[in-house]
A = this chain, B = another copy of it.
Amino acid sequence: MDIKDKNILIIGLGVVGGSYAMALSGAGYKNVYAVNRSESSVKKALEMGIIKGGSTNAEDFAGSADIAVIAVYPTGAEECARNLGRLMKKGSLVTDVLGIKRYYSQKISAVLPDYIDYVPAHPMAGREKRGLDYASADVLKGANFIITPIDRSSSEGIEAVRQLAKDMGFGKIRTLTPDEHDRVIAYTSQLPHALAVSLINSDEEDSNTGDFIGDSFRDLTRIAEINADLWQELFIGNRENLLAAIDMFTAQLSSIRAAVEDMDKESLVKQFEKSSARRQSLIKK
């Protein structure tokens, strides 16, 4: 059976789940269904024509699903997987979209029966806003997609998730172990969010800073407008890696601070030249 004819069930019509529904329907997937806690998003998705059917109850669609995508908040993932495990058929496939992998992949895997395949994944796209209203197939286009297979993941399952990502328009599709993923993501995603939040919170309470900001400040604080519930889960769920990333960052900032204090021009120039070269090579890749 062509993958586009399979029954795809998305659990959670938030920004990511909603964007998946749009992108898959747009790519010609004919049987995209969704389950969502609130009925209003289900209705809206039906009106938009991005799902073929939807419900607030997983029992309505999980039994016939070939592939299910867990697109709920991290702390809701285990409960969601338990339900799917109870309802889904033999040979079906579960994937997810969680931003940290080791901790939650273990939780999900533990409650899924062996006869259901499971391939964890992380689409590196999202919005600071929450909910279906901010979903868009465009945010997925060209974004990085990381598959983090675990022991039970079958090669057919991995291939199917890769195909979904490709069809949704993702750019680079890479494979990492869950541990590698979490180490890298602490640095490239959680740490930047911690910095943006710290930067904007370090302003004096009654200042009129807004009148005096340039593009750099605007860029660096964009992500300080943050989904608090989601990100506390991501921060704490990736605790050790994030602490290590913060400490590596702090060492670098201390080095700049020391150079400023000592008026050490050579040291500053060296650090700036290093950052310029690294930024160029990093973004080029």
Contacts and interface: CB of A to CB of B under 8 A. Distances in A.
A47 to B, nearest CB: 29
Contacts of A227: 272
Contacts of A214: 124-126, 143-144, 188-189
A106 interface: no
A27 interface: no
Interface stretch (A8-16, A50-58, A218-226): A218-226
A199 B249 contact: yes
A272 B253 CA distance: 22
A213 B203 CA distance: 28
A144 B213 CA distance: 7
Contacts of A207: 184
A48 interface: no
Contacts of A3: none
Contacts of A249: 198-199, 202, 253
Contacts of A245: 202
Interface string A13-38: 00000000000000000000000000
A235 B260 contact: yes
Interface string A204-238: 00011111111111111111111111011001100
